[in-house]
Amino acid sequence: MEYFDPPVKSIHPDERLYSGFVPGLPPELEPLRRQLVEIQCNDSPYKTATVRRELLLRTLAHMQADSDCTPEIYATLQGALAVAYQQHPGGNRTQEMEAALVACEEALRVYTLEHYPSQYASVQVTLGNVYRERALGIQRDNLERSIACYREALRVSTQADHPYEYAQ
């Protein structure tokens, strides 16, 4: 079953999305992965956030009705959706950040430190970014939560483990 028209351009399987790698997507979601990568390769994340958000929301709606949707697929899509909300330049910024928080929380129900450390760290970074930009609540509390999320991500991603990502 194919939900989307795949782009013509061939994409290397290890290309990154702004939310990290999208491992193990089933064959019916390969066109979605390629489409997201194509969108992101053609413009800045902030210019493509609206298109990515709408594409991910439609996909999530389809996947929730699909009995073959695994928790990992759902979490991956929620993580990518959180990034799209966080990067969305228009609209109500308060609502965008709150929607991003919900999407991160949904992803973290599956992506735990114990079972999916890399994905967990990626969502923690996104969550830290969202708390940093959050308008609701007390700013100091949001910033402290942001720092706590970044520290949590660093439990997985250290300079010793990933020296090239920390190089300047």
DSSP-derived secondary structure for 85-100: HHH--SS-HHHHHHHH
Q: How confident is the model at residue 107 (pLDDT cuts 50, 70, 90)?
A: very high
Segment 32-82, tens digit of pLDDT: 878 887 887 877 777 888 888 999 999 898 887 777 788 998 999 999 999
Q: CA-to-CA distance for 38 and 17, rounded, in angstroms?
A: 10
| Helices 93-110 and 117-133, packing angle to 10 deg | 160
What's the mean pLDDT in 4-28? 44
Segment 134-149, tens digit of pLDDT: 999 999 999 999 999 9
What 142-151 contacts at long range (C-beta under 8 Å, 24+ apart), as own/partner pairs, is: 149/124, 149/125, 150/124, 150/125
pTM, rounded to two decimals? 0.78
Burial class, 113, CB count within 10 angstroms (exposed 0-12 / middle 13-18 / buried 19+): middle
